Each structure stands twice: as C-alpha cells, then as structure tokens.
C-alpha cells in the first residue's frame, strides 16, 4: 500500500499523564505552532512546526489552521444510544425517570429501521461534538448493537458497545431472560468483538434489573472471551442503593453484588458511583475497574456530587461520561463545564489540565486503550480534533483576553460545545466538518 502522509499545522495540546500523579506542568505537551504528521491513519510525529517541517518531503500536503487548537479526539465512557430521543425528559429522579420515559423510549428499538435511523443520528452527534470513541449502552434488542456497529464500521471508528441484559423489574416488552441474554450477547461478540476498531461490552443494565442467574452468566461470558468489556451502573441514586440492599440482602453492599458475580476487572466500567464508600473505591481500584463520572446527568436527575478527590486518593481510573439521555449534552466540553461545578460545590478545584486528561487520556486508560487513543503520541490512531477559537463571537472575544494555554483551555471548556468543533478526524479521515 502506498504511504499516504498528511500534516496539520496549528497550536497542538495533549495530555500525557494524570495531573493528580505527576503534577500539572508534567501532565501535558503544548506546541504553540505545532505540527501533527499522519501516516496511513496513524500519528507518526507531533512537535514544533519549526522542527518537523524540514523533515517532510516537498510534496506533502500541510493544512494550516489559524486560531485553532488540535487535541486528541474526546472519549465518552458512558452513553446510551436508545435514549437519544429522550434527552431532557422532565421532572423525575432515576427510578421514576426509567419507568416513565426511558423504558418506553428504548422499546422503539424493537424495530430495526428505527434502530438504524437513531444509530445514524447518534454517531453524527458524537462526531459533531468531537467524541471519537464511546462506551455505549444499546437497548435490550440485539439489533440496537448491530445498527450501531454497522454505522461505526463504515467510518472506521473505535467504538465499544453492548446489548442491555435485563431480566426483571422492567416491563415485559423490554426484558430478555438469563439464557437468551447470554446467547444473544454471545452471538454479538462473535460477530463484532475485535472486528476493525470495534469492541464488545457485556452490559447488565444494573443490579436491580438482573436476576442472580443473569449476573452469573454475564460473569461467565467475561471469562469466555479475551479483552471483553463490562459496563453497568452503580450507586447513582440513594433510593437505588437502598433497593439493591433489599434485593441482595446477602451481599455486603452494591459493589459486592457485582464483585460476587465476577464483574469487576480491568475492562469494567461502572457509571456514576456518586454514593460509593471509601472501601468500594479501594476495591474498584484494586481490581483495575474504572468509574465513569457523569456530571450533567448527576445534576439533571438530582443524583448527587461525584467525589473525584476520593477516587484520586485511591488511584481509581476515572473517565468522563455524558450519560445521554440522563445527561443533557453530547458535548464533553459542556460535560467538563458541569464537572468543574461539581468540584466547586465540594470546595475543590478541577484544573483545566485535569479536565483535558479526563476527557482524553484518562478515558483511554479507563478503557485500557491508552496505546491506541487518548493522546497524540506517534504510533497511536489518528483520532483528533480541530477546535475553533472563533467558534462564537463571545468565545472569540473572551479568548482575546486569555494570556496562556491554561486560560484558553479553561474558557474553551466553559463556553465551548459542538460549535467549537471545526473538524473531527478518525483514523486519519475527516468524519465531521462544521
Ligand atoms: N441505571 C439503570 N439504568 C439507567 C439508565 O438508563 N440511565 C441512568 N442514568 N442510570 C441508570
Ligand atoms: Zn447510564
């Protein structure tokens, strides 16, 4: 195959370590006038334009952006495909919200044509917002995952998804059985896991909607295939936590239910974790599990404030999640805007470089994909964004008053959204142009 080489010149910023571990200054690389070189869908070099331009052959196409910032593609570690049509559903907290809005909305995925239509809208929305990798809940219907992966495969996106397993405490029209959930998941794994840049996640919705038999079979599946993911919800809402105690009185607590059924591990991502205790954070960290921090959802559903400093204390892997449709935006920039407020309400600070880490490398680490995505390091997938400093009149004016990259980054995360994303590239291909 002939080498296809392209280069992109602009300010370039990426996270290279967790600020909580190495300190802020050592956590990022910034090139005021930078160059990103892409060979056949992978990054081959990143650095100062003055150093790299002389190394390029004369005929290499260099795209030069003014007033723009190149960053890695953003990583959403928790989102629901079949809830795209119900973002912003009024009035309820988690358990009533599920029954009133979520389950009826997800039931529409019984129709494959509907699933195809929503998958297309959903992927466009991810890319418009600069999200190049997401860990995605389907509905209980296998076709939700087929529709999603078919659309993701066409664009060669790195995506992870799974069909919901749910065999109790939900309407009959939306439940599988322990056995059918296992068999349907297995068929999807055989079809999709490891195909191109696609990965499968075993997806028990949350402890209250699975019988012990189903949780046991979910754990069994994880043991049957290498590198499978597991995604579920945990300790999002106080009533939910109480309900789990009633349903599983023999277990020490919510996390212990999942632990008992062998659902913890290096590719396990637990959404929310707002009401986790210290011991549970320690156990999650010990097993290499990760938590998806979903601030817009936690505010919208009145769930509570995620304790990021406690997670950091335990060196627990944390990614960022939009949790659409409990969350109110597909934009991880807007999600970081709310994450900052979650910390403010707890008397803590969220540095813009920690925010960048959460939305990129931190997410990649939560998904054990840091050798492939989350940074602009040579040898990784060319999934990157061009952010526009002049996206809106206010952003443009505000950024003119900003003195350094820390301030510019913070303002981008406070005022930025889908309008800020000028272009999105996946595996070196332009997949969104504003
Ligand atoms: N817990 C169980 N199911 C869901 C869901 O769909 N959304 C959220 N936010 N929490 C859940
Ligand atoms: Zn969720």
Distance CA 384, CA 401 (A): 26
At 383-433, the pLDDT tens digits run 999 999 999 999 999 999 999 999 999 999 999 999 999 999 999 999 999
Question: What is the CA(137)–ligand 1 centre distance, in A?
Answer: 10
Distance CA 65, CA 42 (A): 20
At 246-274, the pLDDT tens digits run 999 999 999 999 999 999 999 999 999 99
Question: What is the CA(278)–ligand 1 centre distance, in A?
Answer: 23
Please, what is the Cα angle at 329 between 371 and 324, to 5 degrees? 75
Q: Where are the beta strands (DSSP E) in 178-255?
A: 198-204, 229-234
User: Does the pLDDT of residue 2 top 90, yes or no?
Assistant: no
**For the CA of 208, the nearest ligand:** 1
Question: Is the Cβ atom of 326 under 6 angstroms away from ligand 1?
Answer: yes
Q: What is the pLDDT of residue 46?
A: 98
**For the CA of 323, the nearest ligand:** 2
90: number of Cβ within 10 Å: 7
Question: What is the CA(287)–ligand 2 centre distance, in A?
Answer: 22
CB 401 within 8 A of CB 357: no
Question: Is the Cβ atom of 102 under 6 angstroms away from ligand 1?
Answer: yes
At 65-77, the pLDDT tens digits run 999 999 999 999 9
Question: What is the CA(160)–ligand 1 centre distance, in A?
Answer: 18
Q: Which atom of ligand 1 is nearest to the CA of 294?
A: 9
Question: What is the CA(144)–ligand 2 centre distance, in A?
Answer: 16
374: left (phi over 0), alpha (psi -120 to 50) or beta: left
At 319-346, the pLDDT tens digits run 999 999 999 999 999 999 999 999 999 9
Q: Which residues, listed in sequence order, are joined to residue 427 by a DSSP beta bridge?
A: none
At 276-292, the pLDDT tens digits run 999 999 999 999 999 99
**For the CA of 321, the nearest ligand:** 2
Q: How sure is the predictor about 3, in pLDDT bands with cuts at 50, 70 and 90?
A: confident
Closest C-alpha to 386, from 354, 433, 427: 433
CB 415 within 8 A of CB 392: yes
Question: What is the CA(271)–ligand 2 centre distance, in A?
Answer: 6
| Cα 316 to chain centroid, rounded | 16
Closest C-alpha to 370, from 151, 189, 198, 133: 133
- Asked if residue 183 has a cis previous peptide bond (ω within 30° of 0), the answer is no
Q: Which residues, listed in sequence order, are joined to residue 424 by a DSSP beta bridge?
A: 385, 432
Distance CA 277, CA 412 (A): 33
Q: Give the sign of the dihedral formed by CA 375, CA 378, CA 381, CA 384.
A: positive
Q: What are phi and psi of 428, to 5 degrees?
A: 80, -5
Closest C-alpha to 360, from 125, 76, 137: 76
Question: Is the Cβ atom of 375 under 6 angstroms away from ligand 1?
Answer: no
User: What are the structure tokens assigned to 221, written together?
Assistant: 């599946």
Closest C-alpha to 79, from 244, 217, 201: 201
Q: Give the sign of the dihedral formed by CA 253, CA 256, CA 261, CA 264.
A: positive
Pick the CATH number of 74-330 from 3.40.50.720, 3.40.640.10, 3.20.20.140, 3.30.70.100: 3.20.20.140
Distance CA 135, CA 207 (A): 19
Distance CA 176, CA 170 (A): 10
Q: Which atom of ligand 1 is nearest to the CA of 240?
A: 1
CB 115 within 8 A of CB 147: yes
CB 235 within 8 A of CB 274: yes
Please report which residue ranges of 206-253 form alpha helices under DSSP H.
212-224, 238-247
Distance CA 91, CA 178 (A): 33
The domain locations on the chain are: 5-73+375-433, 74-330
The stretch 113-126 carries a mean pLDDT of: 98
Distance CA 228, CA 218 (A): 11
- Residues near ligand 2 ion, CB 5 Å cutoff: 271, 323
Average pLDDT over the chain reads 98
- Residues of 245-270 as b/e, b for ≥16 C-beta within 10 angstroms? eebbeebebbbbbbbbbbbbbebbbb
Question: Is the Cβ atom of 323 under 6 angstroms away from ligand 1?
Answer: yes
Report which DSSP code applies to 381. Answer: B
Q: Give the sign of the dihedral formed by CA 267, CA 270, CA 271, CA 276.
A: negative
Distance CA 175, CA 308 (A): 34
Residue nearest to atom 7 of ligand 1 (CA): 326
Q: Which atom of ligand 1 is nearest to the CA of 326?
A: 9
Residue nearest to atom 3 of ligand 1 (CA): 205
CATH fold, domain 5-73+375-433, is Urease, subunit C; domain 1 (2.30.40)
Q: What is the pLDDT of residue 1?
A: 66
């Amino acid at each position: 195959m002939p080498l296809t080489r392209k280069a992109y010149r602009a300010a370039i910023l990426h996270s290279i370590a967790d600020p909580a571990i190495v300190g802020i200054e050592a956590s990022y690389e910034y090139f005021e006038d930078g160059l990103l070189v892409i060979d056949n869908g992978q990054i081959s070099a990143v650095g100062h334009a003055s150093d790299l331009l002389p190394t390029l052959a004369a005929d290499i196409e260099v795209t030069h952006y003014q007033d723009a910032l190149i960053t890695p593609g953003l990583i959403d570690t928790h989102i629901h495909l079949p809830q795209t049509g119900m973002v912003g559903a009024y009035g309820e907290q988690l358990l009533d919200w599920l029954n009133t809005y979520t389950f009826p909305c997800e039931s529409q995925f019984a129709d494959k044509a509907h699933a195809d239509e929503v998958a297309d809208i959903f992927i466009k929305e991810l890319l418009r917002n600069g999200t190049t990798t997401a860990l995605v809940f389907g509905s209980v219907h296998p076709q939700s995952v087929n529709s999603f992966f078919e659309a993701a495969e066409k664009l060669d996106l790195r995506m992870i998804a799974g069909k919901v397993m749910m065999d109790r405490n939900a309407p009959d029209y939306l439940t599988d059985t322990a056995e059918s959930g296992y068999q349907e998941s297995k068929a999807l794994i055989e079809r999709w896991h490891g195909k191109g840049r696609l990965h499968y996640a075993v997806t028990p919705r949350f402890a209250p909607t699975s019988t012990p038999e189903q949780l046991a079979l979910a754990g069994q599946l994880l043991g049957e295939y290498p590198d499978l993911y597991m995604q579920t919800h945990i300790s999002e809402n106080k009533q939910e936590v109480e309900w789990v105690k009633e349903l599983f009185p023999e277990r020490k607590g919510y996390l212990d239910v999942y632990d008992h059924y062998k659902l913890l591990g290096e590719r396990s991502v637990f959404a929310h974790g707002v009401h986790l205790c210290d011991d549970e954070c320690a156990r999650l960290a010990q097993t290499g599990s990760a938590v998806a921090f979903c601030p817009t959802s936690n505010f919208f559903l009145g769930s509570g404030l995620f304790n990021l400093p406690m997670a950091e204390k335990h060196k627990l892997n944390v990614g960022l999640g939009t949790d659409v449709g409990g969350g109110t935006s597909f934009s991880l920039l807007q999600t970081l805007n709310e994450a900052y407020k979650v910390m403010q309400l707890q008397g803590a600070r969220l540095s813009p470089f920690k925010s960048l880490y959460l939305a990129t490398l931190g997410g990649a680490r939560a998904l054990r994909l840091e050798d492939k995505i989350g940074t602009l390091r040579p040898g990784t997938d060319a999934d990157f964004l061009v952010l526009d400093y002049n996206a809106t009149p206010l952003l443009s004016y505000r950024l003119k008053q900003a003195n350094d990259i820390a301030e510019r980054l913070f303002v981008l995360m406070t005022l930025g959204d889908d309008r800020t994303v000028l272009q999105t590239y996946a595996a070196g291909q332009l997949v969104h142009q504003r």
